């Protein structure tokens, strides 16, 4: 490409615009003097012109073509290659086309998956001592190291490894006083009620996988339950989103969110009821655990959260500001579990009309459009972030589950396949997206936190998205797992499993782990392998009755 374009005497306007910021159409007064130096073409490893060059080999050949022969004596002082805009990289220079082409080659191989800058200052001169009119700044990112970062394992060994390592977030990093799950790996005393529910299900998984003993798991969950009962404030039976793990005091999630969070409470109770079903022994300790879980479960005043008997549940209530947030829990999102639990309550069950009118919007949750060849029964276009298909279904088994609004096996599977196909098609042309590297959901992003999905795609991949979808897309999720672990493991694998998110487009890797992202990984892998959490929670008698009351049918009902 380079020789044919340059040999024909052509100048690529596109290249000049992208790299030099010059306009192709110039006023007569802007035309450089004959002896001045002007960039005619840049070639980075034979890639097409781009604002940032991606997937560059670690032994690249960089070529810069000019309108005139360059003065070799000015090259070394004015052309540099730097790693991450800081470290100077030694290079060799050679020349072609009567010194009008400079060839730059690093003396040593570059680092994989690293950002580099090739810069040329205006001190570069032509052989006739004419100066370069505009400084040049070329940015490129080297390719992924295709070697395996860890020894190869069988699929079962790999799943064991991921579950065991991810479990450590809830076990080793669980708060030492309350036993509850910290919000993230930098949260100190801030623990999360919803994440603790996920963590309880992770502990059950760990017992079942013999990572810990039954007694160890039981005692940790009893510790959490005692703390919830004795230290934490309940607001009409519901808990706050955040709690101080040492004292139990409510930590406001925001200025107006200083009381009950019904959705987070539902995730917590989901986990507690699953534990109640698992620890079913007749001994005094397991009996005591079940009794205390039932006290928490039966204490939630679900109908209070209808805000004066409206036919919808509300997400928040504040002891000082009442219903100021005023956010109804409406579908389709991550909160189906709220209505299932509210219907299932033995002490304060909501009527079906609250589900139909509030959650389902009397049918407004239906979608039934097709995306990437898959029909989506419910929710927004392209499905939204993948945690919609995870959080409520850690314990609720979607297989064969149907109601008046949709088939939930189809919903969760097709939502995931749409997300996968979108990443594979990569309509925004983000570097790194592929059939191996996919998964958009809420996570940390380079600028904070955001809900990533096809309609709001920032180029950030979140491992929990693909990994927690393994019951729905086993082949695609396993392929993603192997790519994350073997190919990116040196950057993505940490003490508590996979870090939260990454962007190959921005060359950014989070150093965070979050309870609400780690929990679904271990739990949904277990549901894929054994159905353990699905069988426990969906097998609870009151959950079966609650689902039936809402009009659900399923083989397990």
Q: Which of 114, 142, 170 is the last residue of a domain?
A: 142
Q: What pLDDT score was predicted for residue 30?
A: 54
What Å distances lie between residue 531 and 280, 465, 539, CA to CA?
Answer: 18, 19, 11
Q: What pLDDT score was predicted for residue 6?
A: 34
Phi, psi dihedral angles at 119 (to 5 degrees): -125, 145
Asked if 345 and 298 count as a contact pair (C-beta separation under 8 A), the reply is: yes
Encode pLDDT of 79-133 as tens digits.
999 999 889 999 999 999 999 999 999 999 999 999 999 999 999 999 999 999 9
Encode pLDDT of 391-416 as tens digits.
999 999 999 999 999 999 999 999 99
Encode pLDDT of 449-474 as tens digits.
999 999 999 999 999 999 999 999 99
Rounded average pLDDT over 519-534: 98
What Å distances lie between residue 141 and 51, 93, 98, 208, 506, CA to CA?
Answer: 11, 21, 30, 44, 9
Rounded average pLDDT over 179-202: 97
Give yes or no: residues 112 and 182 share one domain.
Answer: no
Calpha distance 386→455 (Å, rounded): 12
Q: Give the residue with greater pLDDT, 551 vs 10.
A: 551
Rounded average pLDDT over 1-14: 35
Give yes or no: residues 172 and 123 share one domain.
Answer: no
Rounded average pLDDT over 430-459: 98
* Residue 148 within a domain: no
Give yes or no: residues 138 and 224 share one domain.
Answer: no
Provide the sign of the torsion angle of the four alpha carbons 257, 259, 265, 268, taken in this order. Answer: positive
Question: Residue 324's domain is classified under what CATH number?
Answer: 1.50.10.140
* Residue 236 within a domain: yes
What Å distances lie between residue 39 and 9, 67, 132, 189, CA to CA?
Answer: 13, 7, 8, 57
Q: What pLDDT score was predicted for residue 85?
A: 84
- Locus of tokens 């209530």: 317
Helix, strand or coil, per DSSP, at residue 371: strand
pLDDT band at 8 (very low <50, low <70, confident <90, very high): very low
Asked if 477 and 469 count as a contact pair (C-beta separation under 8 A), the reply is: yes
Calpha distance 140→119 (Å, rounded): 11
Give yes or no: residues 101 and 219 share one domain.
Answer: no
pTM: 0.92
Give yes or no: residues 184 and 136 share one domain.
Answer: no
Please report, rounded to a whole number, the percentage of residues in the chain having pLDDT higher than 70. 94
Q: What pLDDT score was predicted for residue 34?
A: 76
Give yes or no: residues 109 and 171 share one domain.
Answer: no
Give yes or no for residue 153 having a pLDDT over 80: yes
User: Tokens for 417?
Assistant: 């396949």
Q: What pLDDT score was predicted for residue 12?
A: 35
Give yes or no: residues 494 and 527 share one domain.
Answer: yes
Encode pLDDT of 286-308 as tens digits.
999 999 999 999 999 999 999 99
DSSP string, 101-132: EEEEEESSPPPTT-EEEEEE-TT-BBTTSPBB
Give yes or no: residues 98 and 244 share one domain.
Answer: no
Q: Which of 142, 170, 190 is the last residue of a domain?
A: 142
Give yes or no: residues 313 and 406 share one domain.
Answer: yes
Give yes or no for residue 386 having a pLDDT over 60: yes
For 493-513, what is the HEC assignment? EECCEECCCEECCCCEECCCC
Q: How far is CA 100 from the centre of its chain?
A: 48
Calpha distance 388→505 (Å, rounded): 25
User: What is the rounded average pLDDT for all residues in the chain?
Assistant: 94
Encode pLDDT of 26-49 as tens digits.
454 455 577 899 999 999 999 988
Contacts of residue 87, defined as CB under 8 A and 6 or more positions apart, other chains included, come to none
Give yes or no: residues 115 and 258 share one domain.
Answer: no
- Residue 350 carries which DSSP code? P
Rounded average pLDDT over 357-377: 98
Number of domains in the chain: 2
Q: Which of 142, 169, 203 is the last residue of a domain?
A: 142
Give yes or no: residues 161 and 300 share one domain.
Answer: yes
Strand 87-88 with 79-83, pairing: antiparallel
Residue range of the domain that includes 366: 155-549
* Residue 287 within a domain: yes
* Residue 147 within a domain: no
Calpha distance 207→220 (Å, rounded): 11
Question: Residue 40's domain is classified under what CATH number?
Answer: 2.60.40.1220
Please report, rounded to a whole number, the percentage of residues in the chain having pLDDT higher than 90. 92
Calpha distance 218→230 (Å, rounded): 18
Asked if 267 and 315 count as a contact pair (C-beta separation under 8 A), the reply is: no
Give yes or no: residues 136 and 208 share one domain.
Answer: no
Encode pLDDT of 62-93 as tens digits.
999 999 999 999 999 999 999 998 899 999 99
| C-beta atoms surrounding 326 within 10 Å | 11
* Residue 557 within a domain: no
Contacts of residue 85, defined as CB under 8 A and 6 or more positions apart, other chains included, come to 115, 117
Give yes or no for residue 5 having a pLDDT over 80: no
Q: What pLDDT score was predicted for residue 13?
A: 34
């Amino acid at each position: 490409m380079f020789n044919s374009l340059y040999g024909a005497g052509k100048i690529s306007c596109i290249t000049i615009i992208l790299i030099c910021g010059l306009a192709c159409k110039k006023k007569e007064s802007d035309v450089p003097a004959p002896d001045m130096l002007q960039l005619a073409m840049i070639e980075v490893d034979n890639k097409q012109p781009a604002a940032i060059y991606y997937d560059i080999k670690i032994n690249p050949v960089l070529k810069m073509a000019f309108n005139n022969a360059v003065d070799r004596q000015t090259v070394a002082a004015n052309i540099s290659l730097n790693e991450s805009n800081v470290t100077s990289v030694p290079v060799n220079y050679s020349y072609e086309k009567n010194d009008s082409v400079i060839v730059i080659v690093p003396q040593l191989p570059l680092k994989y998956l690293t950002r580099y800058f090739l810069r040329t200052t205006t001190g570069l001169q032509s052989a006739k001592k004419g100066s370069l009119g505009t400084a040049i700044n070329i940015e490129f990112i080297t390719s992924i190291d295709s070697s395996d970062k860890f020894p190869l394992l069988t699929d079962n060994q790999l799943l064991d490894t991921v579950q065991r390592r991810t479990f450590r977030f809830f076990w080793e990093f669980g708060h030492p006083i309350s036993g509850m799950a910290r919000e993230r790996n930098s949260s100190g005393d801030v623990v999360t009620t919803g994440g603790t529910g996920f963590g309880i299900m992770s502990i059950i998984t760990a017992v079942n996988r013999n990572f810990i003993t039954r007694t160890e798991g039981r005692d940790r969950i009893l510790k959490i339950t005692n703390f919830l009962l004795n230290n934490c404030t309940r607001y009409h039976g519901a808990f706050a989103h955040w709690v101080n793990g040492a004292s139990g005091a409510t930590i406001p999630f925001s200025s107006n969110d200083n009381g009950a969070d019904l959705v987070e409470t539902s995730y917590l109770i989901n986990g507690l009821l699953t534990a109640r079903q698992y620890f079913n022994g007749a001994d005094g300790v397991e009996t005591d655990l079940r009794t205390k879980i039932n006290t928490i479960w039966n204490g939630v005043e679900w109908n209070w959260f209808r805000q004066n008997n409206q036919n919808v549940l509300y997400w928040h209530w504040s002891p000082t500001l009442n219903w100021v947030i005023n956010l109804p829990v409406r579908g389709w999102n991550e909160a189906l579990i709220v209505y299932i639990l509210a219907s299932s309550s033995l002490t304060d069950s909501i009527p079906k009309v609250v589900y139909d009118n509030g959650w389902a919007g009397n049918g407004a949750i239906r979608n039934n459009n097709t995306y990437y060849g898959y029909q989506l029964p419910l929710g927004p276009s392209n499905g939204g972030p993948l945690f919609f298909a995870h959080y409520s279904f850690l314990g609720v088994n979607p297989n064969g589950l149907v109601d008046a609004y949709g088939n939930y096996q189809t919903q969760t599977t097709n939502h995931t396949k749409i997300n996968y196909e979108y990443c594979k098609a990569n309509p925004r042309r983000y570097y790194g997206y592929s059939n191996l590297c996919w998964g958009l959901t809420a996570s940390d992003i380079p600028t904070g936190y955001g809900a990533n999905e096809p309609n709001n795609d920032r180029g950030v991949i979140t491992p929990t998205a693909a990994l927690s979808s393994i019951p729905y897309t086993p082949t695609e999720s396993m392929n993603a797992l192997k790519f994350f672990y073997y190919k990116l493991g040196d950057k993505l694998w940490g003490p508590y499993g996979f870090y939260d998110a990454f962007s190959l487009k921005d060359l950014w890797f989070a150093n965070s782990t979050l309870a609400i992202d780690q929990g679904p990984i271990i739990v949904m892998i277990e549901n894929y392998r054994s159905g353990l959490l699905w069988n426990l929670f969906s097998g609870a008698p009151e959950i079966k009755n609650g689902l039936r009351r809402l009009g659900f049918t399923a083989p397990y009902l």
